[in-house]
Amino acid sequence: MLMTRTRRWGALFASGLLALTGVGGARATMLIGGEPTLERLVRSSVAICQGEVIASESRFVNRRIETTYTIRADRYLRGTGDETFEMTVFGGAVEEPLPLAMVFDRMVVLSPGQDVILFLEGPPNTPEAQALAAQALDAGAELTPAATSLRPVLGEIGVFTILTDPSTGSRHVTQLRYSARGAILTPDVNSRVLQEAERRLSLRDIEPSLGRSDKIELLDLARPLSEALRRPPGLSAVTADGSLVPIPQPTAEPPPAASASPGAAPEDAHATLSHLRTLDDFAAEINDLVAEEGR
């Protein structure tokens, strides 16, 4: 059964997106001049944590989808925090009470076992965000974990992934960004991208080089990934304007891995790896920026 009702989704999704981006504050101005520098990410963070994702869970909460990631901290490069903590963000995919997905640009997608450096900010505290929260509470909405949780600065921009070279054990930091409009990105998809990135690192198909970017086409990862990118029968996707888009049920089995499936993912669906450098160099640069800010 397809879900076609759109009532209230627009307003609720807009409020969630506003809470995510912190409209009206310093975080909003970071995008005006282009991509934020590492220095600006450091300045916008209340904590910078290096750790491992050990669990993820998506839930349908208050007419939105939220995903909670459990992080085990190895060290804090800025600030302090618990050895294990939860971070809840907007977006994800659920099967209950109906199969639904909530996707948008810069959405955070992580996988258990992924090593990360997180540039974390608190809930937005601008007057606009506070007024929006008060309005939602007056309307009977409840504060959900995503409204009160630490979250990466500017979504996926505030997440850096640590890759381990399988052949040497050396560790490198990269920023993983997705361009996959129309595709539903899941922890499974993200995990396969990370495996491919580490394979290329081992083969020297990607090299540590500041300012260089490497692209991984999602459809290049064969049929298992293509199937993961296919929307399940009857799944509805939440678009940027908050409306629900029903997805028709496939009428045929996907083709073998040797041929691309036209419905598996958009042609431009890819992941971009950039800013690849050694973990030691990256951590040292963060430490220098934190020390410089404290002077």
- Decide if 91 is inside a domain: yes
pLDDT per residue as tens digits for the range 254-271 = 433 333 333 344 556 777
Is 54 part of any domain? yes
User: Is residue 261 assigned to a domain?
Assistant: no
| Nearest-angstrom CA–CA distance, 234 and 65 | 17
Domain that includes residue 207, residue range? 9-248+268-294
Task: Give pTM, 2 decimals.
Answer: 0.72
**β-bridge mates for residue 270, sequence order:** 179, 217
Is residue 258 assigned to a domain?
Answer: no
Domains contained in the chain, number:
1
Residue 228 domain-assigned (yes or no): yes
pLDDT of residue 288: 94
At residue 29, the pLDDT reads 35
Q: Is residue 259 part of a domain?
A: no
Q: Is residue 234 part of a domain?
A: yes
pLDDT digits over 62-89, tens only? 778 889 999 999 999 999 999 999 999 9
Across the range 269-282, mean pLDDT stands at 84
Instruction: Confirm whether 116 is domain-assigned.
Output: yes
